[in-house]
Structure 1
Amino acid sequence: MDKNSIMPSFPMLMRGLLLLTGMYTFAWSAFFRYFGGDLLRWLTMNPTEIPEISGRVFGTVGMVFGFLIFLSAFYPISWHYLIMVGIAGKVVLAAWFVLLFIPELGWNKRSIFHLLFNELIWLVPISIILIRAIKVKKYLKDLPEEV
């Protein structure tokens, strides 16, 4: 290991973003789980149409992924695999929304908002956090052990 190399750090801001992402994902998924019909009618922008799909399973799966992202904030360097699961979960939720919900709801400003701001935009900070966690873990692993 080079003595002049800069030690990578994992700032508290990144933990905070993981906590926020987990809570945000959990909250929106809870809306789908517990207020699915009303939320889907709102997303269609036509409250008289009743979508035939249910958001119950989508919400439950999203709540699990949100909890795992939230949990990863406590030990992000050791539990970086939970961050990976969170990234995969956000991709799965986005694909699920596009493939199952969009044909029923249609593309409109509310459905696009949900897809972009509740699913896809969170992939950027979570990916940056994952890369940083892996760099810090590698750095710690490469340190010489002192007895």
Structure 2
Amino acid sequence: MTATVKYDEVEVGQQIPAADYTVRRLDLVMYAGASGDFNQIHWNERFAKAVGLPDVIAHGMFTMAQGGRFVTDWAGDPGAVVDYGVRFSSMVVVPDDDQGAVITVSGVIEEKLDDKRVVVALTARSGDARVLSKARAVVRLA
């Protein structure tokens, strides 16, 4: 686990280094089991293409979770996120190969609030596409 980030150690405009999260089809099948979302577009290539998608796509909430994971990994505390919201702006296409897809998440401290909270603006990309927009997390730091 990363060391706990302290409120006094961050500044508005500070960049949080990017992290890559690999997504393979197996991850989507496991997520489907955990979430109960068994929509075939998330695991059946033939079905996904039949409905006009380029291939199997990751669940939106799975993609969103990678942003939350990024913030909690950075903060060093899984309970640090007190508010989190995103808009889904593009799909994470997951090919059936050993490499899968990669979601790259980065952040910047956008605002310092009272009670040791900060607003982190997130950027999440997969390939050339921005997959989350208006992604913001309010994080309580040590």
TM-score for both structures, normalised by structure 1: 0.26
* Higher strand proportion: 2
Q: TM-score, normalised by structure 2?
A: 0.27
Structure with the bigger percentage of helix? 1
Higher gyration radius (CA): 1
